[in-house]
Structure 1
Amino acid sequence: MRTIPELPVIDPAVLADPFTAYARVSAQSPVVRLVGPGMPALWAVTRHEHARAVLADPRFELSEASFLRPPGIPEHCARYLHTMAEMDGPEHAHLRSAVAPAFTARRTERLRPALDLIVDRLLAPLGGSTDLLREFAGPLPMEVICELVGIPESDRPRWRGYGAAVAAGFGSGFIAAIPDILASAETAVAAARATPDDGILSLLVDGPLTEVELVTLVWHLLLAGQTPTNLIANSVAALLAHPDQLALLRENPALAPNAVEELMRWCGPQLLTTPRYATEDVPIDDVVIPRGAAMTVSIAAANRDPRAFANPDQLDITRPLGSPAHLGFSHGPHFCLGAPLAKAQTEIALTALLHRFPTITPTEPFVPTPDPGTWRLAALPVHLG
């Protein structure tokens, strides 16, 4: 058996450049240990082939220990917080099949005119020096969620506040907002039942989901729907650091769908998957993951695995897609149901941004937020000209 490398995930050098750090340990072993002060033992797979296998392996299960539930959440809210992301097996399959019709690629295509309008509205007041994260990439997903759920215009300022609370993380503001968020979700479900519209709730209210499951779906959308914020910000930063790729996309907007896939591979926000627990001893290569051990997948490493991708550290928006597929939206039963919508938002946002502003110049260095699980920027200060 080989020596298992260890990676100190909160080391400043790792937080500043996780891609290089994971590449180093991945070259030594397909399985590593992630370590840190006060951190429980956590195994991680780092290579694309093994990552796909783990994500589709029912011997690795979610548990209550997989998720951090911040203290202070009111008791009456608890029944709404158990989302699809926290389920496995038949329970997960039931919910996923029930909501899948609302998230098809075809339905996303029908939303594109609305997405165009939202993006144009957010970009219209911008110019000169601005923080694109605060003024554009941050607000966009919440505007899209309101459109998706069918929130009336008069209620959207309140929902924008919910989006800001979720984006701020598990602090006191987030916890304080939870009762209001869930009460508004209850109101949205009731409105969809009383006065159907084009939103996904109206599509789902007469299906097999219970009231609790419908409200929980809205809560899930608020949490999971924030992915485009970081993907758009990361993408802009990556393109500015690779002016040849920026120029190529600006000159050929038809490359946008391909570019989004490559950017998700190269600088997608999710570095690690939610931990799962081995239900039995599981061999991976010549390493045995013991029963009860926590296991994660290093998406950062798998998406830059030289065994899977030619020149993996090169950003190439013309890279052929699909063989193999990147893991930015996971794989297996928990492949992101909202992937078509997240990709459409990012594609439209980048295309409109580059079309509207012939020059985009950083005004300060872009600094990543120190987070071992997510690759995200603290701000995106640029000059738009």
Structure 2
Amino acid sequence: MPLPESASVPPAELEARLRLHRLPDLGPRRFMTLMEAFGSASKAISAPASAWRALGLPAQCAEARRLAEIRDGAAHAMAWLEGQAQHLLMWDQPDYPALLAQISGAPPLLFVAGDPTILEKPQLAMVGSRRASRPGMDTAAAFSRSLAGAGFVITSGLALGIDAAAHQAALDVGGQTIGVLGTGLENFYPQRNRRLAEAMIAQGSAVLSEFPLDAPPHASNFPRRNRIISGLSLGVLVVEASVASGSLITARLAAEQGREVYAIPGSIHHPGARGCHQLIRDGAALVETVEHILEALRGWQRLPVGAEPTPVTHPLLRLLHAAPLTSEALADASGWGLSKVLAALTDLEMEGRATCEHGRWFARTS
């Protein structure tokens, strides 16, 4: 199928860009150095090795550009782009995400499976521990439902734990979500979330990567992809994280990019809360309800159309918007008797304003 985003790039230039993109030790900055020096990827590919060395590029870059595996990989990517819902966004094309274009070291090429137009919609990133607690997963799901219901695209890294909970919850309420991979789109990792990624693509969301299609998992790729998660988003919400969590890298990058950083506090006895507490000490906004995030975004005058939340007056719903709770926990938090809580929850469930899953109650947003 024709690709509108590459319509203004001739096939020979597109193939040359894809060849450059596959070269070893050629990251975004060196890619752009070549483009600025030679004016096009086609001219860069055909330039003498001495010209590359004069730009300070590693010798292996110049030597590898003519290898058969580099040409074959570019040809494979060209064929991949002919598939349905498979796209390439480039830094100099009008459909490249505007927010992402503002960050330092923005990826010159992005492979996207799914709907690329949602990358321009207002996004909130949600990140956290891969080994999240059950309450942490429930909190991530509750916040994701509410934020997606308020009109935000939920962006995360498709990792296990908090990431997966946030993606799935957005889909559950008919929202949109974006997964940013640390591998190529044809070398998906982690495999346990492949079905989730496929569901995202099928339901009008998107999965993307800056890496070549066949790029394998590599430890250095995952911190690198975090700048894309934060760069696409208006802000980053850290749900649950230890002090060694990669989520803190995303939060640090978000702050450097001028994005808002939000953190949900937890028990002082829970190691998974210490990263969030560290972020709060460092200046992140302490978040207890979705309204805290929406209020901050209204202050920026960047709230998406339809995201003005309906005031929540029911005392049980106010508690459930903060976090999913059991009926017993709601009784403790509200000061109501359990029988009164159960009766009220029955009414809220019949009205479609609350739902119970696995023993915990959630506020419904749609």
Taking structure 2 as the reference length, the TM-score comes to 0.28
Which gives a bigger RCO, structure 1 or 2 (Cα 8 Å, sep 6+)? Answer: 1
Based on CA coordinates, which of the two structures has the bigger radius of gyration? 2
